[in-house]
Amino acid sequence: PGSAEVAARAAATCRDLGLDPVLVERVDVVGPGGPEAAARTARYAALAHAADTVGAAAVLLGHTLDDQAETVLLGLARGSGARSLAGMPASRGLLRRPLLGLRRADTLGACAAEGLDPWHDPTNVGAHDDAAPLRSRVRDRVLPVLERELGPGVAPALARTADQLREDADALDTLATTLLTTATLPTPTTTPTPTT
């Protein structure tokens, strides 16, 4: 509820900053994988459509180091492999994540310094309710406990783990592709049939 107003406000802020063109795309969040996965799929489809519409060379996303840490932690909880634990790459196709090395607090500080009033998704604030989205509960409850119990630096450590696993997964993918490309079956040798 209220997402149209939030989108209109964000679009107005972008226009006030001199950005042009500014598009607002409405999406329907349906599909497999639960509401979070369906929302992500719809969001990326809308971004791809908007980029295609305006001929964009890149789409900048606002993911931070904290988002990366949450992604890795969720992957660990699911027992995921290296590719999933590698988290979000800084660049994939048109998508760029220029804030991936910054903490969320840094981006909030930058907004304050620039006089920008960021919108805070209510599902991300006070996620003490078990009905809150899983990522919101990890953000609000799990990471603070890890930081408190294990000491500061858990989020940067999880983000470093993602970077290391991405390098490992990329190397394995390259090796597998090379092996597949160069693999050949031996040519069968035929024995000449004796003549009588």
**How many domains would you assign to the chain?**
2
For the question of whether the overall pTM of this predicted structure is more than 0.85, the answer is no
Neighbours of 183 (CB within 10 A): 7
pLDDT (0 to 100) of residue 125: 66
The string of pLDDT tens digits covering residues 3-45 is: 899 999 999 999 999 999 999 999 988 888 888 889 889 999 9
What distance in Å separates the CA atoms of residue 11 and residue 20, rounded to the nearest whole number? 10
Q: What is the dihedral of CA 120, 121, 125, 130, to 10 degrees?
A: 180
Asked if the structure places residue 192 within a domain, the reply is no
Asked if the structure places residue 93 within a domain, the reply is no
DSSP classification of residue 142: I
Question: What is the CATH number for 156?
Answer: 3.40.50.620
User: Same domain, yes or no, for 120 and 36?
Assistant: no
What distance in Å separates the CA atoms of residue 71 and residue 166, rounded to the nearest whole number? 13
What distance in Å separates the CA atoms of residue 65 and residue 160, rounded to the nearest whole number? 9
The string of pLDDT tens digits covering residues 102-111 is: 999 999 999 9
Q: Provide the domain limits for residue 47.
A: 1-56
